[in-house]
Amino acid sequence: MALTKEDQVYIADTVNNAVDNLARIVAKGFEQTATKQDIARLELEIMEVKERVTYIERDIAEIRKGLMSRIELEDIWARLSLVEKKLGIQSGK
């Protein structure tokens, strides 16, 4: 069965519309894709954050060096309580 001119025009229009719709979908997808500049900017920001974290970790390590541990503090409280008891001092607790 041979296609009429009308059928051929309908098929061509349908195919063209489908191709146009597909092109719009693909273009919209590319609008949301990160560019090389976006990726480079994010990599730079990540490097800056890593540097900040490194400095924070160093600062925390230095602070910890100056702090006494929980065990040391509990030992001091136990010794103080013993001294207070021997001297007959009422504890502040």
| Tokens encoding 59 | 């600062």
Q: Which residue has the tokens 């103080």?
A: 80
Give the tens place of pLDDT for each residue, 9-36.
888 888 888 988 889 888 888 888 888 9
Rounded-to-integer distance, Cα 77 and Cα 72, Å: 9
Q: What is the pTM of this model?
A: 0.48
Mean pLDDT, residues 30-47: 91
Parse the chain into domains and list their residue ranges: 8-87
Mean pLDDT of 38-67: 94
For residue 79, give Cα distances in angstroms to 47, 73, 93: 49, 10, 14
Task: Please report which confidence band the pLDDT of residue 93 belongs to, taking 50, 70 and 90 as the band edges.
Answer: low
